Chains A and B, each alone.
Chain A
Amino acid sequence: MADLFDDYPAGPAWDEMIGPDGDVHAAYRNVHAALAQLSDGDLRARADTLARSYLTQGVTFDFAGEERPFPLDVVPRVIAGDEWEHVAPGVQQRVRALEAFLADVYGPQKAVADGVVPRSVVVSSTHFHRAARGIEPPNGVRVHVSGIDLVRDSLGGWRVLEDNVRVPSGVSYVLSNRRAMAQTFPELFATLRIRPVVDYSRRLLAALIAAAPAGVDDPTVVVLTPGVYNSAYFEHTLLARTMGVELVEGRDLYCAGGRVWMRTTQGRRRVDVIYRRVDDEFLDPVTFRSDSLLGCPGLMTCARLGTVTLANAVGNGVADDKLLYTYVPDLIRYHLGEEPILPNVDTWRLEDPRALAEVLDRLDELVVKPVDGSGGKGLVVGPKASRAELDALRARLREDPRGWIAQPVVQLSTVPTLVEDGLRPRHVDLRPFAVNDGDAVYVLPGGLTRVALPEGQLVVNSSQGGGSKDTWVLGGRVPRRSQHQGQQQPQRVAQDAAVPIDSSPQDARVQVMQQQQQRATGGATC
């Protein structure tokens, strides 16, 4: 019988499911076996179900004015439990180091004084905000939520591609992917022990409450969204909904008396923690862009007074600047005294004239990225670019070397993905999400796997035609559940204590008649 994987080609990169000699890697064995049983039609039927479920839920993105379901691939990405035990601590370490760096850079700047990071790198970052200096977060946390982008290179080793500590998005896809997949592949969930992700919202709310200004007993947490036209609006509503907090827009807030308030039908209500999904520049027209309608005038003043906590903190962008990225391994050694668990991708700092010369020379084999970009914007993949593009790029690099970094083309690992021709290897990355509540950094098991759907494409962002995959981390301990005292043991009820379910006496008569008829014909009831 023809198998879905029969004509699966060996890709140029390391494939996570199928090795070069055709053997299936251990973590994927169950998934592979289950998929191999399906016919192409079955698999496509399931893919349709997934897409339909996304349309109903409204997990869509705007594509040329039309609402399309966010592409969720039917083949999950699987990470073995022991592998995750390597990745998660690496992410935690990275977050702790960036946290320490931010506290330092908006404070004593010891790392600069000690020569770990050049002052020029810090102050020339577009996201280094002097306005953020002196705002002390109540529990010392600036990076409440972060997404660290990881890739697996051709040898299967994990590397950090970039850090996101401003407003990392995508976690809503992790949550809704899991729901949709569980309903579409019940049999796989039954056989595999997949670590659940539902805990995220609770952890996030706990972290936000922990970050409330001191002395506030029952803090009011809100999610601040730019509004319904934002591409991540679905995520904002999902987070607010699952945390049970208000989703506010800038116009719902106002500052008075050194505090932030929101307008409600019951009059004004104090706001203590704002999980803001609005970029720094738009947050407060008084401090930043004066034409911003998305923020709330006076927010920064209130933050400085310590009456409101902004999460993530303003000015975090200096830590995910792509040039600073090259210094993060040193920062881990400096601030934490540890060796980095997850290595960086090799990067040329173009400020160094020798590096610039080398990069300009080899531009057609490198990837060049703007340091403050996100979502794959402005990124140029050398081998794919035309001569004219490269020439234009050369001029821009010479003009503004601080604005760019260059990296070798990393052959991202591939995972089988359903495309028109069937299952084909497509490149993926991984964005694990971490929540810092001040005591510990919680890493959501799995994270968002983005997949580049066009063949050979290495840019996985959804704005560049990317989709996503549900990410399954296998195994692990049985979680300890919160329990009400006296209910640790299942309570038993004797069979005779079960209360019968009534039915209308008239129907009962009909039922007996029908059963008698059934028995007469020898049919079984269920």
Chain B
Amino acid sequence: MLSRIAESLFWIGRYVERADDTARLLDVHVQILLEDPWAEEDAACRSLLSVMDRPAPPPDVEVGREHVLDVLAYDRFSPSAIAGALVAARENARRAREIVSTELWECLNATWNQLPTHMRPTRPHDYFTWVRERAAIVAGIMDGTTSRDETWSFMVLGRSIERADMTARLLTTRALAGSAGPGWTTLLRSCGAHEAFLRTYRGTAPDERAAGFLLLDRLFPRSIVSALNQAEACLTALEPVADRAGIDDARRHLGHVRSNLEYRPLMEILDDLPREMELVQRACSAASDSVRGRYFPSGAELTWVGEAL
């Protein structure tokens, strides 16, 4: 498979997952601001912006929901906003048009076409629901029409890395806002995990359990550990480990941060959650870079260095 195509597949996976997860994250935060009369809108919005790596407006400007939605949901030009991610996913599918199935292409293209009509509805919730549904359709078409070869592995690899990264960001929003932020229940709900969690632990489980569920659960597909496992499995499928010792970069980054979470007491992780989540995000970013270095080398990196010979 061409590297360029593989890169596009990888990024389709990431962008669609990003749109999905950002929609979930924003949905819960907007809902919180609505339902909780004691929420401090300015502080909550600022922490959200900082978690999503967006510059916050100067301190004397009141940051409200509208601003957050403009920046994170409706910006078509930034691939890290929902609309932008959907646009970028469609662009990538266009580049890999001969590899992605027609159904998948049509789905991504239809999403892109419908985007303007769904933006800025009276209820942001409608937009988020639509985005989640489109992402689910993409995932379903991928699942149903892609052979389990490299095509599949690259898309799912991208999706899993993005999922680990975004879940980590979601958990950070909780820690940053402290008691003013969304409760664990709300976070679980935003990942579609609330009911799975309740069935697993019953309704009276303490907060740490909820944190543990999103961090460590091996069976729930949106937990960080589960997403990292999936990413590692994809890397293995792409290139089975043949060496007797050592491991390639991408797997090292992911495996290291995963074992760091899996083999430590939960309370220790929770005590410094933002820091731990930052490590997860950095590992995902580093793994993504390694994947690029390994599988999608671009022409610019080929430089001739005379002295080294």
Q: Which residues of A contact B (CB under 8 A)?
A: 49, 178, 182-184, 186, 189-190, 192-196, 198, 201-202, 205-206, 209, 221, 241-245, 478-479, 481-484, 486-493, 495, 497-508, 510-511, 514-515, 518, 525-526
Contact = CB atoms under 8 A, between A and B. Distances in A.
A194 B33 CA distance: 12
Interface of B: 7-8, 11, 14, 18, 30-31, 33-38, 41, 43, 47, 50-53, 55-56, 70-71, 74-75, 77-80, 88, 91-92, 95, 123-125, 165, 172, 175-181, 183, 185, 195, 197-204, 207-208, 211, 270-271, 273-274, 278, 281-282, 285, 288, 292, 298
Contact of B176 (A490, A507, A514): A490
| Top 9 closest pairs, chain A to chain B, by CB | A244-B198, A490-B178, A193-B37, A499-B281, A501-B80, A503-B79, A205-B203, A504-B11, A243-B203
B75 A503 contact: no
Nearest to B10: A504
A487 B180 CA distance: 11
Given A209-B204, A244-B202, A501 B274 contact: no
A488 B175 CA distance: 10
A347 B220 CA distance: 57
A206 to B, nearest CB: 7
Given A183-B125, A244-B203, 7 more contacts: A184-B123, A243-B203, A487-B179, A490-B177, A493-B51, A499-B282, A504-B14
A388 B41 CA distance: 62
A514 B18 CA distance: 21
Contact of B70 (A189, A490, A526): A526
24 contacts: A182-B35, A183-B34, A186-B34, A192-B37, A196-B35, A205-B203, A205-B204, A241-B195, A243-B198, A243-B202, A243-B203, A244-B198, A484-B207, A486-B271, A487-B178, A490-B178, A495-B55, A499-B53, A499-B278, A504-B11, A505-B292, A506-B95, A511-B77, A525-B78
Nearest to A476: B37
A202 B79 contact: no
B37 A502 contact: no
A207 to B, nearest CB: 11
A311 to B, nearest CB: 15
B251 to A, nearest CB: 18
A189 B35 contact: yes
Nearest to B43: A490
A245 B7 CA distance: 45
B11 A518 contact: no
A196 B92 CA distance: 44
A49 B123 contact: yes
Nearest to A206: B204
Contacts of B208: 484
B79 A507 contact: yes
B18 to A, nearest CB: 8
Given A196-B35, A241-B198, A502 B123 contact: no
Given A499-B278, A501-B80, A507-B88, A493 B176 contact: yes
Nearest to A514: B77
A498 B88 contact: no
A195 B37 CA distance: 7
Contacts of B285: 499-500, 502
Given A486-B271, A515-B77, A493 B204 contact: no
Contacts of B273: 491
Contacts of B18: 501
Contact of B270 (A243, A484, A493, A503): A484
A493 B274 contact: yes
Nearest to B183: A481
Nearest to B56: A495
B297 to A, nearest CB: 11
A507 B56 CA distance: 24
A193 to B, nearest CB: 3
B175 A242 contact: no
A315 to B, nearest CB: 28
A505 B298 contact: yes
Nearest to B70: A526
B79 A504 contact: yes
Contacts of B53: 498-501
A495 B8 CA distance: 31
B80 A503 contact: yes
A195 B38 CA distance: 10
Contact of A202 (B77, B177, B178, B203): B203
A201 B7 CA distance: 47
A242 B53 CA distance: 34
A497 B30 CA distance: 24
Nearest to B27: A183
B171 to A, nearest CB: 12
A487 B203 contact: no
A438 B41 CA distance: 38
A160 B45 CA distance: 44
A254 B95 CA distance: 61
Contacts of A184: 123
Which of A504, A518, A526 has the most B CB atoms < 10 Å from its CB? A504
Contacts of A502: 14, 285, 288
Contact of A189 (B34, B47, B207): B34
B176 to A, nearest CB: 6
A240 to B, nearest CB: 9
A73 to B, nearest CB: 18
Nearest to B288: A502
A482 B208 CA distance: 11
Contact of A201 (B78, B124, B203): B203
B129 to A, nearest CB: 9
Given A491-B274, A504-B92, A196 B201 contact: no
Given A241-B195, A491-B175, A504 B7 contact: yes
B167 to A, nearest CB: 13
Contact of B88 (A479, A481, A504): A504
Contacts of B74: 526
Contacts of A193: 37-38
A194 B208 CA distance: 28
B270 to A, nearest CB: 6
Contacts of B91: 507, 510
Residue from A241, A490, A502, A514 with most neighbouring chain B CB atoms (10 Å)? A502
A490 B175 CA distance: 7
A493 B178 contact: no
Nearest to B75: A526
Contacts of B41: 190
A244 B125 contact: no
A438 B201 CA distance: 24
Contact of B33 (A190, A202, A245, A478): A190
Contacts of B38: 193, 478-479
Given A484-B208, A502-B285, A497 B11 contact: no
Contacts of A241: 195, 198
B80 A497 contact: no
